[in-house]
Amino acid sequence: MRLDDITLEVKRLPHGEGLPLPAYASEGAAGMDVVAAEDVRLAPGERKAVPTGFAVAIPPGYEIQVRPRSGLAFKQGISVLNTPGTVDSDYRGEVKVILANLGSEPFEALRGERIAQLVPAPVQRARLREVDELDATVRGTGGFGSTGV
């Protein structure tokens, strides 16, 4: 374990019995693979909140980001909506993954198949200070592609 590693407490839920807990697939993996706790079928354009069979306690000052798996995204057009999704440190309910089928074919995943990855991340909170004017920049108010082709 590295010095900056954190500990996540995981509670397996009854419908998660027999499933693997989130785990890193390789030594260098940034995300832990997470599996579906039920069979899933998504028609093209359909989305669904897929249960994972566990809940988690995250230390204050951290979140867990829910991200797509690159293989599912590239090969089948399966993505995680609201990417990255956030699991807040004070949430204690079941972790669910909002999957969307952006592909042209129906998608099926059986219970126990990997559907997403979880990445713990530190959270920095901000204080807001209301002002009458913002400082000027070269870009100014240009947005949505204003900095180039």
Task: Answer whether 73's CB lies under 8 Å from 84's CB.
Answer: no
For 13, the token pair is 């839920």
Instruction: Say if CB 89 and CB 63 are below 8 A apart.
Output: yes
**Tokens at residue 120, please?**
């713990």
The torsion region of residue 53 among left (phi > 0), alpha (psi -120 to 50) and beta comes to: left
Instruction: Give the tokens for residue 9.
Output: 């407490």
CA 48/CA 36 separation, integer angstroms: 12
What's residue 27's pLDDT? 93
Measured distance CA(16)–CA(134) in Å, rounded? 50
| pTM exceeds cut of 0.85 | yes
Domains and CATH numbers, the chain: 9-122 (2.70.40.10)
CA torsion through residues 31, 72, 49, 40, sign = negative
Residue-level pLDDT at 79: 97
C-alpha to C-alpha distance for 143 and 12, rounded to whole angstroms: 44
**Res 1: pLDDT:** 55
- Segment-wise mean pLDDT, segments of 10 residues, the chain, 149 residues: 82 98 96 98 98 98 97 95 94 98 97 98 96 92 77
**Residue 100, CA distances (Å) to 75, 80, 109 in order:** 14, 6, 12
pLDDT score recorded for residue 138:
87
Read off the pLDDT of residues 37-73 as tens digits, 9 standing for 90 and up: 999 999 999 999 999 999 999 999 999 999 999 999 9
Identify whether the C-beta of residue 67 lies closer than 8 Å to the C-beta of residue 37.
Answer: no
